[in-house]
Amino acid sequence: MSKAGDLYGQSLYDLAAESNLSDEILGEMEVINGIFKENPDYVTLLSEPSVPKKERLQLVDQALGDGCQEYLLNFIKILIEKGILREFSACQKRYRRCYNEEHGIADALVTTAVALDDSQLSLLRAKLENISGKKVLLRQKVDGSVLGGVRVDLEGQLFDGTVKGRLSELRRRVDETVI
């Protein structure tokens, strides 16, 4: 993550928390981040120095003015004025991290060879919440190369119960064995 993303994301979170708007702004940031990812040409246009700042700011007002929280709209305008709108994603990630810390939420990425059903996800979420002592937001990734089992990345802590992980561990042990 970039320094600018950290600084600006933290600053926006501090302002939002102070104003009791952290939930609202988080939701809107995630929607806008998705829009920016789906429309990279729009971000390019808003970052283009040959287009006068006033026109770029008016474009943002037209696109987001009615459906966007005022602090967030002004935040986006500041990023445009500073020429760092491309850092919005990094700002959103930092904002999310601050929000999660404040609200006792942990992010977890679950990787399996086949998609887990809702009951399996619920059981896994309950176990992870028990381990972490926090509410867990699960994201699921399907990767056939793991062959079977489950790999969980919970806030930087890796739990690898996959067939691929076990085979790698077995290979490492065999390589270390002196005959």
pLDDT at 1 over 60: no
Do 10 and 95 lie in one domain? The reply is: yes
Q: What is the pLDDT of residues 135-157, one digit of tens each?
A: 998 899 998 887 888 888 988 88
- At 8, the amino acid letter reads Y
Do 87 and 20 lie in one domain? The reply is: yes
CATH number at residue 72: 1.10.520.20
Do 90 and 108 lie in one domain? The reply is: no
d(CA 84, CA 73): 15
Per the CB < 8 A criterion, the answer to whether 114 and 142 are in contact is yes
Host H or E run for residue 141: strand 135-142
For residue 67, give its domain range.
Answer: 3-100
Which one is predicted more confidently, 177 or 121? 121
Do 50 and 135 lie in one domain? The reply is: no
d(CA 19, CA 83): 27
Q: What is the pLDDT of residues 104-131, one digit of tens each?
A: 999 899 998 889 899 999 998 999 999 8
CATH number at residue 110: 3.40.30
Per the CB < 8 A criterion, the answer to whether 33 and 25 are in contact is no
Give the pLDDT confidence score for residue 161 in this predicted structure. Answer: 78
Do 95 and 114 lie in one domain? The reply is: no
d(CA 110, CA 83): 36
How do strand 105-112 and strand 135-142 relate by DSSP bridges?
Answer: parallel
d(CA 131, CA 80): 42
- Which residues does 61 contact at the CB level (< 8 Å), separation at least 6? 73
Instruction: Tell me what the pLDDT averaged over the chain comes to.
Output: 89
The model carries a pTM of: 0.77
